[in-house]
Chains A and B, each alone.
Chain A
């Protein structure tokens, strides 16, 4: 579904993403790896916030890298950020509805889609609350609401679980798992919480020092010796 070929990203002298070729072919794909492995950079390259040095990305028949950043968003590539981007001045409804501004549709359809997104993340009843009044978890929900409103095609999530409590993470898990069925979008999820990845992702890619070291069904990946060595520094021969 998302075919990444020879993707490389350089910052100054550092190669942050090194010749990554992978076909993300499941509905929910995880991306894991130690800090600095290039996960967020890869996400930034996919969503247009960083220009890759080389490589192509084709998703649903569309060459993503040929589109400018805002056009990718309009096409249906959505993302959440590590630092929340809720606009304090706007209320919850508008914060989510802005995603549909560039799209020509009638008002009733727009209202229905925004309401569906807010209902899905559990913010029904909070529509008129200003962004500044939301707590951290509610802001995270608004971000997710933005990512799924309307007709998303790809949803990129960058550490959505960071800073959440146990219960909140369980709710997040349920939300993520339901996205492909409910909104017909593919989810690519970066997170450090291996449990979240294991519970939600059908397949997982592992990056280390910018290179792809493994890709496959999540369960197998998490047992893989190479992966354990990269994460834990345990030598492959001693792996369980």
Chain B
């Protein structure tokens, strides 16, 4: 039995970022009804821009801020320009539209930044400390802490602030909220903004921890969505747990020769088990908004 310690730690770190991504997805979905399939692509674009700026000699902090800024801009841009055109369609159509956005971003990032291998290096990669006999890099530590802190922060925001309350109202019943005087567009824009910031952050961290590649980062929306599924697309705690679980499951498969090439199937397996569990209690839908 190989020593799983280091893999467990790696898994927790990556899983925490999956969870962070998942939180961004859930907050947006609950407030606007849009499950954003372009989430990973948005993060990817931001991360690649940050890398580009560092290559061009810009100071790193500036590059990362601009990267996250671009991600936020893309998210809010879509949310203010394209999403409102589909505001009265059902959730499936809204989600399908984000696929279109994802394709556009994917096409652009693959065209502009071709498939050459590149690395996103953060100074915290080389720092580290030893915990319970395992060496943990600074990046992983920061990633994990950031994810947990932000998840708690978002939960507090939703529960303790006025804007958060408006967002929860919107998630509950959109039309009724509008009637009650909640500025729907205003609240939604904030949701797209928060989601964009989280996407940018996740993109950067995953670009460092996993790989800085347009396709890989775009499709890391899959473990993020799997984490969100564990949270039933509503619970932040569930998403956090789901993300960590998926990250760890993926990572601990590494030292085992036979299953190692297939370990990225972990999000799918977790998601399908959760869905099997959820579908016992069947919900009958009438047409239109679900």
Answer whether A and B are interacting partners. yes
Residue ranges of A at the interface with B (Cβ–Cβ < 8 Å):
49, 69, 83
Say yes or no for B180: interface residue by CB 8 A criterion. Answer: no
- Residues of chain A within 8 A (CB-CB) of B259 are none
- B281 to A, closest residue via Cβ: A51
Query: Cα distance A69–B284 when bound, in Å?
Result: 10
User: What are 3 of the A-B contact pairs (CB < 8 Å)?
Assistant: A49-B284, A69-B284, A83-B286
How many Å from the CB of B265 to the closest CB on chain A?
A: 34
What CA separation (Å) do A64 and B284 show in the bound complex? 18
The size bracket of the interface on B is: under 10
Q: How far is the CA of A69 from the CA of B286 in the complex (A)?
A: 14
Q: How far is the CB of B119 from chain A (nearest CB, A)?
A: 51
- Residues of B within 8 Å of A83, CB to CB, are 286
The 3 nearest A-B residue pairs measured at CB: A49-B284, A83-B286, A69-B284
Encoded as 1 (CB less than 8 Å from any A CB) or 0, chain B from 248 to 287 comes to 0000000000000000000000000000000000001010
Q: How far is the CA of A17 from the CA of B238 in the complex (A)?
A: 33
Per the bound structure, the CA–CA distance linking A184 and B286 in Å amounts to: 30
| Closest chain A CB from B286 CB (angstroms) | 7
- Separation of A94 and B165 alpha carbons in the complex (Å): 48
How far, in whole Å, are A49 and B286 apart by their CA atoms in the complex? 11
* Whole-angstrom CA separation of A237 from B284 in the bound complex: 45
Give B9-66 interface residues, CB cut-off 8 Å to A.
none
- Chain A residues lying within 8 Å of B286, measured Cβ to Cβ, are 83
Shortest distance between the CB of B49 and any CB in chain A (Å): 46
Instruction: Across the interface, name the chain B residue whose C-beta is closest to A50.
Output: B284
Q: How far is the CA of A174 from the CA of B259 in the complex (A)?
A: 71
In the assembled complex, the CB of A240 is this many whole angstroms from the nearest CB of chain B, namely 39
* A49 / chain B contacts, CB cutoff of 8 Å: 284
Cβ contacts under 8 Å, B284 to chain A? 49, 69
Question: What residues on B are CB-neighbors of A69 within 8 Å?
Answer: 284
CA distance A49 to B283 in the complex (A): 9
Chain A's nearest CB lies how many Å from the CB of B234? 15
A49→B284 CA distance, assembly (Å): 7
Which B-chain residue is minimally distant from A44 (CB atoms)? B284
> How far is A83 from B289 in the complex, measured between Cα atoms in Å?
14
> Quick one: closest A residue to B286, CB to CB?
A83
Smallest CB gap from B288: residue in A: A83
Instruction: Give complex CA distance A83, B284 in Å.
Output: 15
> Closest Cβ of chain A: how far from B279's Cβ, in Å?
15
CA distance A29 to B284 in the complex (A): 27
User: Digit string of B115-158 for contact with A (CB within 8 Å is 1, else 0)?
Assistant: 00000000000000000000000000000000000000000000
Q: How far is the CB of B90 from chain A (nearest CB, A)?
A: 15
Min CB–CB distance B132 → chain A (angstroms): 44
CB distance from A149 to the nearest CB of B (A): 22
Q: Given the complex of chains A and B, what is the CA–CA distance between A69 and B283 in angstroms?
A: 12
Within the complex, the shortest CB–CB distance from A77 to chain B, in Å, comes to 15
CA distance A181 to B284 in the complex (A): 34
